[in-house]
A and B are shown apart, each in its own frame.
Chain A
Amino acid sequence: MKTSSPAAGREAEPVLDIEDLTVTIGTRRGQARAVAGVDWSVRAGQTLALVGESGSGKSMTVLAATGLAPRAARVTGRVRLLGEELTTLSEPRRRRLRGRHVGFVFQDPMTSLNPVLTVGRQVSEACEEHLGMTRRQARDRAVELLDLVGIPSPGRRVAEYPHQFSGGMRQRVVIAMALACEPALLIADEPTTALDVTTQAQIVELVADLRRRLGTAVVWITHDLGVVAGVADTVAVMYGGRIVERGDVDAVFAAPAHPYTRGLLAARPDPERAGGDLPAIQGAPPSPLELPPGCAFWPRCPVRGDARCEHELPPLVEVTRGHEVRTFYPGGEDA
């Protein structure tokens, strides 16, 4: 494990601990089950990667856990942030806890910053709200934070507006904003997807570096397995609202046990196979409105085991220590 947390006390209990989280969203066409019985936890200084296609429920898991799910969503299960149960808290208490201890970095820095407020104001307002700073103190803190995330001449740029920044620089501003109250947990929801490749690498490196220096727990939501290998300690692969495989990154990458994970890994561009077509997973992910009774991956599964797969939900079982998978065929057809 690559953990090197200065906050040894936090080691004992997870920063965020999610148990049996289920999210159903009432839509005009019926109940959509976006997340079904998901558990995971993340400790200080650790990075957990949540991996899956769009609609697999990875973002919804995190939004629901922190009280940011849309109004139409019904959330059940247990969520503990620094030992406090969030699901039974009143909204004002939950809001304070979230603002104080959780930082969010969203996908598109072009739209996640308010165009009519200076970046300084957007970074500093959380410090005023949660740390009780005066406007002046909070502004100074904003300059520090912009410096911390590597924005040149922060003293000048603090008074500028988002449109005066490039995409990569904006994402740095968003990260500075997320770190404003020195959160115990940083949630990065596909923070590099909207950026060009060079900038992506810089942002990945920045977050990894900040995690090392500040001992923040990180949940990194992505569909990019290349990023996962670089930043995460543990990985949870989601499909159709459930975790289908999870474990230490090295273990999962070395021996992916779920056909879906194998498909994802095979679909990565690999310089050694350059030139040929990329093997893709056939078909599309299931609609959360009509999930199959059995394994959600069954219609697209290359293994196509037997009738059991179609009608019975496989349990999450351990293949090696700390490496779990939800399939009846954890090694392929011959298993």
Chain B
Amino acid sequence: MARFVLRRLLQSAIVLLGVTLVVFLLLQLVPGDPVRVALGTRFDQQTYDALRERSGLDRPLVAQYVSYVSHALTGDLGVSFRSGQPVTTIVLERLPATLSLAVTAVLLALLVAFPLGVLSAVRSGSALDHAARVFSQFGVSVPDFWTGIMGILLFAGVLGWLPPSGYVALTEDPAGWASHVILPATAVGLVTASILTRFIRSSVLEVLSEDYVRTAVAKGLRARVVVVRHVLRNALIPVVTVVAVQLASLVGGVIVIEVLFAWPGVGRLTYDAVQARDYPVLQGAVLFVAALFLLMNLLVDVLYARLDPRIGAR
């Protein structure tokens, strides 16, 4: 197992290196001179050259890249053009907000999708199954920002039960955090719940038609035992991947919702960095999200090996 993890870590490192290259090159291709942006409209050539030199932007591309990667290895992702703060600090500051939103959304989604997906597969064709399908169709069709806006209008506007936007750290005021997180988490979680419901349903349905499930039924086991012991364990192996990918993509990508709810997370940071052409911050945010994806994938692989003996044995 240790060797397996080590090998996967090494592979992840190589992929991450590739990501740095892509991120680095993409930003070279984007039009717009970051030094000009950083300086505003009024500056002289001397200041311009000085900043250009200080940022290393006057050096050849390869040298820039090598220096970027070697600094990144020590955790130094450069400084923000706008604020002059280290990028690493900026990104890490945003992490708790984003993580708490993403994890809450995925937990809410699982809470709905797991029972709904399993039941609608086990009782496929029933009224419950049809209801579940309507729900998931609705959930994937309606954009999360619409649900978010409707939520704000209803629960913050009409009913006045919840704050319309803003963020309170979980560590400072758990109740305040909960009241702030519930609307954005539900808006994002609804989409995730729909995707997961569909996926879990089809995965369970597929396993239900396996020969070994018939074997289990033939043994005269109770239906509940057949489903829990024989079906779920197999059906959930692929679900693990989808949950992890959903979680990772929420950490990196709930931009619209974070902007809508004034949620100071990584998505909001990315949005602001693009607006301001703050390249180091944008690079840092993208790199960070990519690293998170890789970490999630690694976790999935380790989980797979634990869930599926056929993988762990090798």
Q: In the complex, A95→B221 CA distance in Å?
A: 7
Which chain A residue lies CB-closest to B231? A114
Q: In the complex, A14→B237 CA distance in Å?
A: 45
Cβ–Cβ contact A129 & B222, under 8 A: yes
| Interface pick from B37-45, B64-72, B110-118, B208-216 | B208-216
**Is there a chain B Cβ closer than 8 Å to A161's Cβ?**
yes
Which chain A residue lies CB-closest to B233? A116
Return B312 CB to nearest CB of chain A, in Å.
Answer: 9
Cβ–Cβ contact B210 & A111, under 8 A: yes
| Interface pick from A99-107, A252-260, A298-306 | A99-107
Cβ–Cβ contact B211 & A177, under 8 A: no
**Interchain CB contact (< 8 A) of B218 among A98, A117, A130, A161:** A98
Return A68 CB to nearest CB of chain B, in Å.
Answer: 6
**Interchain CB contact (< 8 A) of B234 among A97, A99, A114, A163:** A114
Cβ–Cβ contact B219 & A116, under 8 A: no
Q: In the complex, A115→B307 CA distance in Å?
A: 10
A129 in contact with B310 given A114-B212, A114-B234, A115-B212 (CB within 8 Å): no
**Interchain CB contact (< 8 A) of B211 among A95, A98, A108, A161:** A108
Residues of A within 8 A of B215 (CB): 104, 106, 112-114, 174, 177
A95 in contact with B220 given A114-B234, A115-B309, A116-B234 (CB within 8 Å): yes
Return A14 CB to nearest CB of chain B, in Å.
Answer: 20
Return B7 CB to nearest CB of chain A, in Å.
Answer: 21
Classify the secondary structure of B's interface with A. Answer: helix
Which chain A residue lies CB-closest to B237? A116
**Which residues 256-284 in B have Cβ within 8 Å of A in the complex?**
none
**Interchain CB contact (< 8 A) of B222 among A95, A102, A117, A177:** A95
**Is there a chain A Cβ closer than 8 Å to B230's Cβ?**
yes
**Is there a chain A Cβ closer than 8 Å to B308's Cβ?**
yes
**Interchain CB contact (< 8 A) of B309 among A106, A163, A180:** A163
**Is there a chain B Cβ closer than 8 Å to A126's Cβ?**
yes
Residues of A within 8 A of B216 (CB): 114
Q: In the complex, A300→B216 CA distance in Å?
A: 39
Return B128 CB to nearest CB of chain A, in Å.
Answer: 16
Return B114 CB to nearest CB of chain A, in Å.
Answer: 18
Cβ–Cβ contact A98 & B220, under 8 A: yes
**Which residues 216-240 in B have Cβ within 8 Å of A in the complex?**
216-222, 225, 229-230, 233-234, 237
Q: In the complex, A106→B217 CA distance in Å?
A: 12
Residues of A within 8 A of B230 (CB): 114, 117
Residues of A within 8 A of B222 (CB): 95, 129
**Interchain CB contact (< 8 A) of A115 among B217, B220, B234:** B234
**Is there a chain B Cβ closer than 8 Å to A125's Cβ?**
yes
Which chain B residue lies CB-closest to A99? B220
**Is there a chain B Cβ closer than 8 Å to A137's Cβ?**
no
**Interchain CB contact (< 8 A) of A129 among B218, B221, B309:** B221
Cβ–Cβ contact B309 & A125, under 8 A: no
Cβ–Cβ contact B220 & A126, under 8 A: yes
**Which residues 90-146 in A have Cβ within 8 Å of B in the complex?**
95-100, 102, 104, 106, 108, 111-117, 125-126, 129-130
**Interchain CB contact (< 8 A) of A112 among B212, B221, B310:** B212
Q: List 22 A-B contacts (CB under 8 A).
A: A97-B220, A99-B221, A102-B218, A104-B218, A106-B211, A112-B212, A113-B215, A115-B308, A115-B309, A116-B234, A116-B237, A116-B307, A116-B308, A117-B229, A117-B230, A125-B221, A125-B229, A129-B220, A161-B309, A161-B310, A164-B313, A174-B215
Interface set of A (CB-CB < 8 Å, partner B) = 66, 68, 95-100, 102, 104, 106, 108, 111-117, 125-126, 129-130, 161, 163-164, 174, 177, 180
Known: A113-B215, A161-B313. 15 other contacts (CB 8 A): A68-B217, A68-B218, A97-B220, A98-B220, A104-B219, A106-B214, A112-B215, A114-B216, A114-B230, A114-B233, A115-B310, A116-B237, A116-B307, A161-B310, A163-B309
Interface set of B (CB-CB < 8 Å, partner A) = 210-212, 214-222, 225, 229-230, 233-234, 237, 307-310, 313
